[in-house]
Amino acid sequence: MRIETSRSIFRAVGPRDYDALYSMENDLDSLATWRYKTGMPPPEEYEAALWRQTDAIWVVEGRDTGRLNGYLQLHDVDLRAQNGWFSLYAAPESRGSGFVMEGLMAFCEIVFDEWPLRWIYAHSLEQNVMHFESGIRRGHARRLGVLEKRMIIDGRPSDVHVIGISRESWMNSRLRARFNALRAQPLTPAPD
């Protein structure tokens, strides 16, 4: 599935995207969040490592620029328990722009439409959890717990927040209704 808005194109990842994804994750602010204990792999091993335990990856591409602003990854899906985990990354120049959070809305729309999942979860470092606060306040997401001093970032212990989004809360949210209303508006063609 491909979702377009006036600002973004949300599409499945392709081989041409891997260099940009590697750069996003290899940025100093993102490096500590690599989800495998072995750390960031060398470029020639990145594709295989990226797909380990991963079920789907979508990129958030700027409509006007064609630049990859970020990506979202569905991983560690447990179909018996009907839950999975997600990771999201923003390109350094896109952080704070809203592109990846717009991508998260498209991600929820696709995941809850195409997968039989009740919940999706994310680990969020203390310095990133503020990006979820608006969704938590409005009930679109829930803070399910805090793993105190779980990670070492720049030599200092950092808390990790467990954020959850349920199918029920997403499907019944006003945010989803607004997002889909925006998607329904006529789009200008994206540049080639």
Q: What is the CATH number of the domain that holds 172?
A: 3.40.630.30
Sheet containing 3-4: which strands, arranged edge to edge?
3-4, 8-12, 54-62, 68-78, 83-90, 119-125, 156-166, 142-153
174-178's contacts with Cβ under 8 Å and 24+ in sequence apart are 175/105, 175/135, 175/138, 175/140, 176/105, 176/108, 176/109
Residue 98 falls inside a structural domain: yes
pLDDT digits (tens, 9 = 90+) for 9-46: 999 999 999 999 888 877 655 555 555 556 678 889 88
Q: What is the pLDDT of residue 55?
A: 95
Please report the pLDDT score of residue 29 as a whole number. Answer: 58
H helices of 68-156, in order, are 99-114, 133-137
Say how many Å lie between the first and final Cα of the chain, rounded.
Answer: 20
Instruction: State which amino acid sits at residue 162.
Output: V
Domain count, the chain: 1
Q: Tokens 């990856």 belong to which residue?
A: 57
| pLDDT < 70: residue spans in the chain | 27-39, 96, 126-132, 188-192
Domain contains 58: yes
What is the span of the domain harbouring residue 55?
Answer: 3-184
Q: Please enumerate in sequence order all residues whose Cβ is within 8 A of that of 52, keeping only pairs 6 or more positions apart, or say none.
A: 36
192 lies in some domain: no
Residue 30 confidence (pLDDT) = 56
Q: What is the pLDDT of residue 117?
A: 97
Q: Is 127 a domain residue?
A: yes
Residue 189 lies in a domain: no
Q: What is the pLDDT of residue 58?
A: 95
- Non-local (6+) Cβ contacts of 20 within 8 A are 68, 91
**Which residue, 181, 167, 41, 30, is CA-closest to 112?**
167
Amino acid (1-letter code) at residue 112 = F
User: pLDDT at position 131, please?
Assistant: 66
pLDDT, residue 118, reads 97
Please indicate, yes or no, if residue 191 is contained in any of the structural domains: no
pLDDT score recorded for residue 183: 86
How far is residue 50's CA from residue 73's CA, in Å, rounded to a whole number? Answer: 9
Assess if residue 147 is contained within a domain.
yes
